[in-house]
Homo-oligomer: A and B are copies of this chain.
Amino acid sequence: MGDLGEQGILEAILPLLDSAQASLGPGDDAGALRVSGNEVLVSVDTLVENQDFRLLWPSGLEHNAYDIGWKSIAQNVSDINAMGGRATGAVISLSLPKSTSLEWVRDFSRGVAEAIAELGARELTILGGDLGKSQEISVTTTVLGECEHGKVLRSGVRAGDRIAVAGRVGAAGAGLSVLEHEHDNESWSRAVRRLVQAQCRPVPPLESGPRAAEAGATAMMDLSDGLIRDAGRMAKASHVNLELESSALQDFALRLEAASELTGTDPMSWVLYGGEDFGLLAAFPQGLEIPGEFNVIGVAKPANGRRAVVKVDGKVAKPETGFDHFA
């Protein structure tokens, strides 16, 4: 199955599943269901030990349960945010090895509760869950949400739209490289620790999703798998090319210098290919006032030929190192 990639697998199975009754079926940040006139958004994500986190990183840092709880909330509310909505409810399924301590579960729960509070997901409440045994830690969180201003899909970009991002770009990727680097975590500078924190406790810009929807964004998605890979999905869904300017991305790269010095990595590679910042990628029509926290990084152009692409400084960019579980 490794040869197919996640996209290939999905293309094989989605035709088998009937989503005709959905208000919005699979393929965007969240699905949607109509409930007595209103739409309910639904998103699900799973974190698995040694795939999405390590209990002990090569750097010597131990990944604590609090951060896993935090991230399980952050990445799902981000999906609702990316539709322009607000998260209203969540259920969590926790599969744990029998050796897991009760203290671990308590820390996890604190991470869940504090992420909800500190990220500002004020309407989000825990509706239930499931607890079971497994060989490896696995956390699946499903979040429900609602849109006040109508949902914003990734497929709505029009040629001429300005492409902008809100939130961090590359910080979580830089943090991941530091964690994977065999360099004693005791000696990290404060700047390096902040990047590690961006990986372990990401902060999706929760006000920015509804604000962009209200401002009139034509398309939006969250940055979970790397800018180039995610922009490629938006380009494909919208049938436009997204033309980005590296000069507009330099500011993001500058903030990653501390990790670059430590690991010897070009910081721009994190900006282009690093995932899990859970910032927003959005498109706004020309002439529209873009909310202040969004930085314009490019423009949409008509896609010539069969395939919509992402370009950086005029050259086609491919998601060589973006994240795909099955690549």
List residues of chain A with CB under 8 Å of any chain B CB.
Answer: 1-2, 4, 6, 9-10, 12-13, 16-22, 24-28, 30-33, 35-38, 40, 42-46, 48, 50-52, 88-89, 91-93, 95-96, 98-102, 105-106, 108-110, 112-113, 116, 123, 125-136, 138, 140, 142, 144, 146, 325-326
Is A102 a contact partner of B4 (Cβ separation < 8 A)? yes
Q: How far is the CA of A93 from the CA of B91 in the complex (A)?
A: 13
Which residues of chain B are within 8 angstroms of A50 by Cβ–Cβ distance? 135
Q: How many copies of this chain does the complex contain? A: 2
14 pairs of residues in contact across A and B, judged by CB atoms under 8 Å: A12-B106, A13-B108, A17-B112, A19-B125, A26-B127, A28-B128, A33-B144, A36-B37, A42-B127, A43-B128, A48-B133, A91-B142, A135-B136, A140-B140
Which residues of chain B are within 8 angstroms of A2 by Cβ–Cβ distance? 98
Which residues of chain B are within 8 angstroms of A109 by Cβ–Cβ distance? 13, 16-17
Which of these, B96, B105, B110, B144, contacts A42 with CB under 8 Å? B144
Is B127 a contact partner of A91 (Cβ separation < 8 A)? no
Is A131 a contact partner of B325 (Cβ separation < 8 A)? yes
- In chain B, what residue has the closest Cβ to A41? B127
Which residues of chain B are within 8 angstroms of A108 by Cβ–Cβ distance? 13
Q: How far is the CA of A100 from the CA of B6 in the complex (A)?
A: 13
Report the minimum CB–CB distance from A9 to chain B (whole Å). Answer: 6
From A13, A32, A144, residue with most partner B Cβ within 10 Å? A13
Which of these, B16, B105, B134, B138, contacts A12 with CB under 8 Å? B105
Is B138 a contact partner of A134 (Cβ separation < 8 A)? yes
- In chain B, what residue has the closest Cβ to A135? B136
Report the minimum CB–CB distance from A291 to chain B (whole Å). Answer: 27
- In chain B, what residue has the closest Cβ to A100? B1
Which residues of chain B are within 8 angstroms of A33 by Cβ–Cβ distance? 88-89, 125, 127, 144
Q: How far is the CA of A40 from the CA of B41 in the complex (A)?
A: 12
From A10, A51, A140, A146, residue with most partner B Cβ within 10 Å? A140
Is A95 a contact partner of B126 (Cβ separation < 8 A)? no
